[in-house]
Amino acid sequence: ALTNGKYKSCLHRAVVKKESERRSLAFFLCPNKEKTVGPPEELLRRDGWRRAYPDFTWAALFDFTQKHYRADTNTLDAFSSWMCPELSPFTKQYTSS
């Protein structure tokens, strides 16, 4: 949503040898729950104002992942379809407001 679908996250996992110790550093993003999530206006302008996803709040996404759909590679598409059920996930295009 932040990049209008241009950049995708990747799945990852750690494989560690039994003989060595593993250390991890976790980073959690915890923005204000009422913060609106959407791509920068400059990116939308370059895309001809065509949006891949609707704007939403972090609270709405968190609620969705806790009550309706656990996070995976399809979460954002499932969330967008849940927010705007009248739009097909295969042909969705949102207009900027």
Q: Hey, which residues are catalytic here?
A: 22
In one-letter notation, the amino acid at residue 54 is P
The per-residue b/e assignment along 2-40, b for 16 or more CB within 10 angstroms, e otherwise, is: eebeeeeeeeeeeeeeeeeeeeeeeeeeeeeeeeeebbe
Q: Could you tell me if residue 4 is left (phi over 0), alpha (psi between -120 and 50 degrees) or otherwise beta?
A: left
